[in-house]
C-alpha cells in the first residue's frame, strides 16, 4: 500500500502550523511573520498565538495576508487545566473559527475553575480544528497526561523552538508509547517560532492537497494526508508485508520503527531509492501493529511519515 500522502491526488504544500506573533509573546507582527514564511517559500502558515486572557484571547486574523500562492489557516495555542507536573497544558488548535469561545484561562497558571485540557481539546475539535498535543518533551508530559486528550489528531514529534532554546524538541518517545497502547495519532513537525532566537524554518508539514486553500489543507491534515520534515523530501513510499520502498531526496539513512524495540534500518550515501526488506521470522518487526518511517539526510535532518497500521497492509 501507499500511504494517502503519496497515493492521493494533488500536490504537496509546505506549511508551518505553530507560530507566535506580537498578538501574544512573539517578537514580530503578524504581517511580518507571514512575509517571512512567504519569502522563504512556504505555501501556508498558521499563526497560533497563546489563547489566554493576558493577550485578550487572540485568534490572529491572517486572512488579509493570503495571496494567490500563499494561504493561512486561523488557529491558536490553547491552554487550560493542569498536567501532572502542575503546569498548564499547551495544545495546538489549527482551524479555529474567529469567534471561538474563550476558555477561562486568564494566564499560564492552571486553576480548578477552568475546563480540563481534555474538554478544551474536544471543544476545539468540535469547532472544526485539527488538534495537536504540543511539545511533549518541553512540557514534561507523562503518558497518563497524554492519554487524557482523546480529541487529539496528532502530537508534535518535533518542535524546533523547543529544540533550539531548551534542547527539548522531541516527541517521539511519548508518541511511540501512545501508539503502542493502540492510540491512533499522527505526528507533526513545527517551528513554534517566536523569532527571538533561531527558532524558525526548522520543522514543517508537507500536506497533500488538491488546492492550497485553508479548508482543503485542513481536511488533508485531519485525514492524515501529509508527512513532516526538517529538510528531506519524500516523493513516494510503498510498503507491504515483505518490503518498504522509499523515493526521496538524497538521504543517508532510512529507519522503520514499531512496537516496543522493533526497528530496521538501511544506510548509505545519497540514497534516493531505498528498499528495506523485512526479514522473515523476526517476531518484533513482523508482528508490530504499527510502523512509522524516518529518513535522515547527511546533515542529520529528518523527515517522518505518519504511523502506518500494519493490519491495513
Residues 121-140 that bind Zn ion (CB under 5 A): 134
Helix segments in 97-195, DSSP class H: 117-126, 136-139, 143-147, 160-166, 172-180
Residue 141 or residue 234: which is nearer to Zn ion going by CB? 141
**Contact with Zn ion (CB under 5 A): which of 79, 90, 208, 225?**
90
> Any idea how long the chain is?
313
Minimum distance from residue 194 beta carbon to Zn ion (Å): 8
* Residues from 53 through 82 that contact Zn ion (CB under 5 A): 77
Pick the closer one to Zn ion by CB: 38 or 194: 194
Q: Rank residues 88 and 256 by Cβ distance to Zn ion and give the closer one.
A: 88
CB 95 within 8 A of CB 132: no
As a dihedral over the C-alpha atoms of residue 198, residue 157, residue 12, residue 296, rounded to 10 degrees, the angle is: 80
Residue nearest to Zn ion (CB): 90
Q: Torsion angle of alpha carbons 129, 80, 185, 141, nearest 10°?
A: 150
Beta carbon of residue 18, minimum distance to Zn ion (angstroms, whole number)? 6
Compute the distance between CA of residue 111 and CA of residue 147 in angstroms, rounded to an integer. Answer: 20
Closest contact distance (angstroms) between CB of 274 and Zn ion is 34
- CB atoms inside a 10 Å sphere around CB 63: 11
Q: Please check whether residue 194 is in contact with residue 182, taking contact to mean a CB–CB distance below 8 angstroms.
A: no
Q: Toward Zn ion, which CB reaches closer, 134 or 251?
A: 134
Compare residues 77 and 145 and give the one whose CB is closer to Zn ion.
Answer: 77
Regarding 38 and contact with Zn ion (CB under 5 A), the answer is: no
Q: Which is nearer to Zn ion, 169 or 232 (CB)?
A: 169
- Closest contact distance (angstroms) between CB of 170 and Zn ion is 15
Q: What does the alpha-carbon distance between residue 213 and residue 229 come to, in Å, rounded to a whole number?
A: 21
35: left (phi over 0), alpha (psi -120 to 50) or beta: alpha
Q: Which residue has the cell 493502540?
A: 182
Site string for Zn ion, 173-212 (x = CB under 5 A): -------------------x--------------------
Stretch that binds Zn ion, among 29-37, 83-91, 143-151, 290-298 (CB under 5 A): 83-91
Residues near Zn ion, by CB under 5 A:
77, 90, 134, 192
Amino acid at each position: 500500500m501507499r500511504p494517502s500522502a503519496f497515493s492521493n491526488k494533488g500536490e504537496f504544500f509546505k506549511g508551518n502550523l505553530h507560530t507566535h506573533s506580537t498578538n501574544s509573546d512573539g517578537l514580530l507582527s503578524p504581517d511580518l511573520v507571514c512575509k517571512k514564511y512567504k519569502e522563504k517559500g512556504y505555501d501556508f502558515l498558521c499563526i497560533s498565538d497563546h489563547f489566554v486572557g493576558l493577550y485578550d484571547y487572540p485568534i490572529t486574523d491572517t486572512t488579509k495576508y493570503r495571496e494567490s500562492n500563499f494561504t493561512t489557516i486561523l488557529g491558536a495555542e490553547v491552554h487550560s487545566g493542569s498536567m501532572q507536573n502542575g503546569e498548564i497544558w499547551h495544545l495546538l488548535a489549527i482551524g479555529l473559527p474567529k469567534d471561538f469561545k474563550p476558555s477561562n484561562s486568564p494566564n499560564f497558571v492552571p486553576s480548578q475553575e477552568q475546563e480540563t485540557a481534555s474538554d478544551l481539546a474536544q471543544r476545539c475539535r468540535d469547532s472544526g480544528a485539527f488538534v495537536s498535543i504540543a511539545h511533549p518533551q518541553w512540557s514534561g508530559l507523562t503518558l497518563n497526561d497524554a492519554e487524557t486528550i482523546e480529541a487529539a489528531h496528532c502530537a508534535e514529534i518535533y518542535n524546533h523552538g523547543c529544540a533550539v532554546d531548551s534542547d527539548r524538541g522531541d516527541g517521539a518517545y511519548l508518541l511511540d508509547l501512545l501508539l503502542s497502547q493502540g492510540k491512533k495519532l499522527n505526528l507533526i513537525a513545527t517551528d513554534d517560532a517566536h523569532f527571538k532566537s533561531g527558532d524558525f524554518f526548522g520543522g514543517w508539514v508537507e500536506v497533500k492537497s488538491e488546492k492550497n486553500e485553508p479548508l482543503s489543507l485542513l481536511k488533508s491534515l485531519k485525514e492524515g494526508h501529509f508527512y513532516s520534515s526538517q529538510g528531506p523530501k519524500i516523493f513516494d513510499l510503498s510498503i507491504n508485508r515483505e518490503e518498504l520502498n522509499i523515493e526521496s531526496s538524497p538521504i543517508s539513512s532510512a529507519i522503520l520503527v514499531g512496537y516496543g524495540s522493533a526497528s530496521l534500518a538501511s544506510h548509505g550515501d545519497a540514497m534516493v531509492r531505498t528498499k528495506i526488506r523485512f526479514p522473515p521470522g523476526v517476531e518484533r518487526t513482523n508482528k508490530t501493529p504499527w510502523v512509522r518511517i524516518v529518513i535522515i539526510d547527511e546533515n542529520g535532518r529528518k523527515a517522518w511519515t505518519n504511523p502506518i497500521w500494519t493490519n491495513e497492509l
